[in-house]
Amino acid sequence: MAKQIPDIVIGRLPVYLRALQQMLAEGRQVTSSQELGERLGISAAQIRKDLSQFGEFGKQGTGYNIEYLANQVREILKVNKTWEVVIVGAGDIGRALAGYSGFSERGFKIRDIFDNSAERIGEQHGEFVIKDIATLKSEAHAAGIKMAMIAVPANAAQAVADVLVDAGIQAILSYAPVNLNVPPGVRVQNIDPSIHLQRMTYYLTE
């Protein structure tokens, strides 16, 4: 694809895909940009414009075939395959992520969970035995892992990010509430519940 797609458009595609998967689960076959927009609080025009960046997915007046569109979006996002992901940090959040059943149908599989605590290493958690972070680099290289999640305290997160970058990881989802520095070519997304809560308090009436 020669054309550069704005990152903000890429960011909306997973949200469209989730809504499409939800519609499929409801037994639906056809939808429209209007209906999608109403579900998501996004204008129909925005959805049509976003999708038109990638081609023609629906016929004027007949709407979108949901399964076809979902498959196309999966292909665009490269989640028509399964990506293995490693977790660093075997505390409450890391263990909750390791046990989360929602990844498989979205294109992801947790491969391993790592920690640096002697007490945790070797511990069984569900199907995982918690591994020593010292082995992460060689394991990730050998298996060609590109994605990781960080679930360590804020003050340890940058050091973990450095280890991940050194191990060839290209995409990091961090649950640590700090801004991570990574070299160009490595992507970081953050999940920080306080950020989301603070975004809503502005609107609350006391």
Residue 24 binding a second copy, by CB under 8 A: no
Site for a second copy in 29-48 (CB under 8 A): 39-40
User: b or e along 158-176 (b: 16 or more beta carbons within 10 Å of the residue's beta carbon)?
Assistant: bebbebbbebebeebbbbb
d(CA 183, CA 141): 18
CA-nearest of 196, 175, 167, 171 to 185 is 171
20: CB partners within 8 A, 6+ apart: 31, 36, 66, 69, 70, 73
In this complex, which beta carbon is closest to a second copy, that of residue 95 or of residue 131?
95
**48-67 footprint of a second copy as x/- string (CB under 8 A):** --------------------
- Chosen residue from 107, 132, 137, 162 binding a second copy by CB under 8 A: 107
Residues in the site for a second copy, rule: CB under 8 A? 10-11, 13-15, 17-19, 22, 39-40, 76-79, 83, 85, 92-93, 95-97, 99-100, 102-103, 106-108, 146-147, 149, 154, 170-171, 173, 177-179, 187, 189, 191-206
